C-alpha cells in the first residue's frame, strides 16, 4: 500500500461556533489576525491523506497523534506531509503549525485487566441531552 501523498488544502471554519475565537472579530480581540480554524476541522482534513492511502486498514487499526502548535487561520492554504512516520502541517508562511506522527497499524493496548462489559440490550432512541461527563454535587465554601 502506498504512503500518503502530501495533501494541500484551504483551511476553513465550517460552521459558526459558540466560541468566538472562531470568528474574525472574536479572534482579533485576543490578538490573532483572524478566525482560528477549530481543531476538529483541522483533524478531519489532516487525516484525509491517511484515509486515501491506507483506507480501512488505517481506520480500523492505525495510529495518529497530532499536536496543534500554532494557529491555523480561516482561508489559509496549508500542507499536510507525512515522512518516515512524522506528520507536519505547514502554513503558507512556511511555519509548522501542527506536528505529530501516523502509522498504518498500531500496537493494540493490553486490556486484559479490564472486565468485559455487556453491550446495550436496546438502542436509545431519545438520549438525554446535557454536558458529557458532568457531575452534579452540592458544595459549600467550607
How far apart (Å, rounded) are the C-alpha atoms in residues 139 and 133? 18
Q: Would you say 81 and 133 are in contact if contact means Cβ atoms under 8 Å apart?
A: no
How far apart (Å, rounded) are the C-alpha atoms in residues 106 and 108? 6
> For the segment 44-83, what is each residue's pLDDT rounded down to a tens digit?
999 999 999 999 999 989 999 999 999 999 999 999 999 9
Cβ-in-10-Å burial (0-12, 13-18, 19+) of 61 comes to: middle
Question: Strands 63-68 and 7-10, how do they pair?
Answer: unpaired
Question: pLDDT at residue 110 above 80?
Answer: yes
User: Quick check: pTM over 0.75?
Assistant: no
Task: Output the nine-digit C-alpha cell for 116.
Answer: 468485559
CATH 1.20.120.450 fits 7-103, yes or no: no
Taking all residues of the chain, what is their mean pLDDT, rounded to a whole number? 87
Amino acid at each position: 500500500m502506498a504512503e500518503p501523498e502530501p495533501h494541500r488544502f484551504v483551511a476553513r471554519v465550517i460552521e459558526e461556533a459558540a466560541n468566538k475565537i472562531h470568528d474574525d472579530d472574536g479572534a482579533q480581540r485576543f490578538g490573532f489576525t483572524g478566525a482560528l480554524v477549530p481543531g476538529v476541522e483541522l483533524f478531519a482534513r489532516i487525516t484525509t491523506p491517511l484515509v486515501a492511502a491506507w483506507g480501512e486498514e488505517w481506520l480500523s487499526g492505525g495510529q495518529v497523534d497530532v499536536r496543534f502548535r500554532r494557529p491555523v487561520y480561516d482561508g489559509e492554504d496549508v500542507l499536510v506531509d507525512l515522512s518516515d512516520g512524522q506528520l507536519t502541517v505547514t502554513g503558507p508562511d512556511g511555519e509548522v503549525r501542527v506536528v505529530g506522527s501516523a502509522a498504518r497499524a498500531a500496537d493494540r493496548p493490553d486490556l486484559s485487566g479490564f472486565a468485559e462489559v455487556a453491550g446495550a440490550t436496546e438502542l436509545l432512541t431519545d438520549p438525554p441531552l446535557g454536558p458529557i461527563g458532568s457531575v452534579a454535587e452540592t458544595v459549600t465554601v467550607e
